[in-house]
């Protein structure tokens, strides 16, 4: 990821972004395989692990070793054993071929050094029937979030997703600060 790293207070963040509602909205269900690329400390990965259950799997990847360590400890504390967590660059990592029902980018696609390569890697991880989900910051001034200059507009994100070999199925707002793009291979 680029040199910029945005940290949230999860309790405050849940006031303006509900991870369980977003995961339900993208149709995450029990027994699915979910890849959270740029998972951080698990804002989406932990609720995803609870949703997919013991027969499901959550792959979490983040460039920050410390975030992965925090997520591992929190997963253990919650008794969640269905997470496979790795520290590394998303440009260099493919968890598996055709294994994920959902590859998810939770407000971070704009952060990667080579987002086009990250999207191509996501396509390799998706099952043929899987879907890519990009939830990201609108490119407009807001009182929170990353600097405006590094954000992707919804149009820019969609263009990159299509370039990586996806077909856009849904584009819409997701709360006051974000847009949601769902695409299929």
- Cβ atoms 170, 185 nearer than 8 A: no
User: pLDDT value at position 79?
Assistant: 97
Question: What does the pLDDT look like over 2-32, one tens digit per residue?
Answer: 444 445 566 777 777 899 999 999 999 999 9
Q: Is residue 174 one of the residues assigned to a domain?
A: yes
Give CA torsion, residues 66, 72, 78, 83, to 10 deg: 130
pTM to 2 decimal places: 0.93
Q: Is residue 159 one of the residues assigned to a domain?
A: yes
Instruction: Provide the number of structural domains found in the chain.
Output: 1
Q: What is the DSSP string of 127-143?
A: EEEEEEEEEEE-SS--S
Q: Is residue 2 one of the residues assigned to a domain?
A: no
Report the Cα 3 to chain-centroid distance in Å: 19
Give residue 15's domain range.
10-184
CATH for 175: 3.40.50.150
Question: What does the pLDDT look like over 112-140, one tens digit per residue?
Answer: 999 999 999 999 999 999 999 999 999 99
Q: Is residue 149 one of the residues assigned to a domain?
A: yes
Q: Is residue 4 one of the residues assigned to a domain?
A: no
CA nearest neighbour of 108 among 144, 150, 69 = 150
């Amino acid at each position: 990821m680029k040199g910029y790293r945005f940290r949230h207070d999860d309790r405050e963040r849940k006031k303006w972004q509900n991870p369980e509602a977003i995961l339900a909205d993208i149709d995450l269900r029990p027994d699915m395989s979910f890849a959270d690329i740029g998972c951080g400390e698990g804002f989406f990965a932990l609720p995803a692990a609870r949703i997919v259950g013991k027969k499901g799997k959550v792959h979490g990847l983040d460039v920050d070793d410390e975030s992965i360590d925090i997520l591992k400890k929190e997963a253990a504390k919650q008794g969640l054993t269905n997470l496979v967590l790795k520290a590394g660059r998303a440009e260099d990592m493919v968890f598996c071929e055709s294994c994920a029902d959902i590859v998810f980018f939770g407000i971070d696609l704009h952060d990667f050094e080579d987002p086009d390569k990250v999207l191509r890697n996501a396509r390799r991880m998706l099952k043929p029937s899987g879907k890519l989900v990009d939830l990201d910051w609108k490119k407009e001034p807001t009182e929170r979030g990353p600097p405006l200059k590094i954000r992707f507009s919804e149009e820019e994100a969609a263009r990159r997703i299509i370039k990586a070999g996806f077909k856009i199925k849904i584009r819409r707002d997701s709360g006051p600060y974000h847009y949601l793009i769902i695409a299929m291979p």
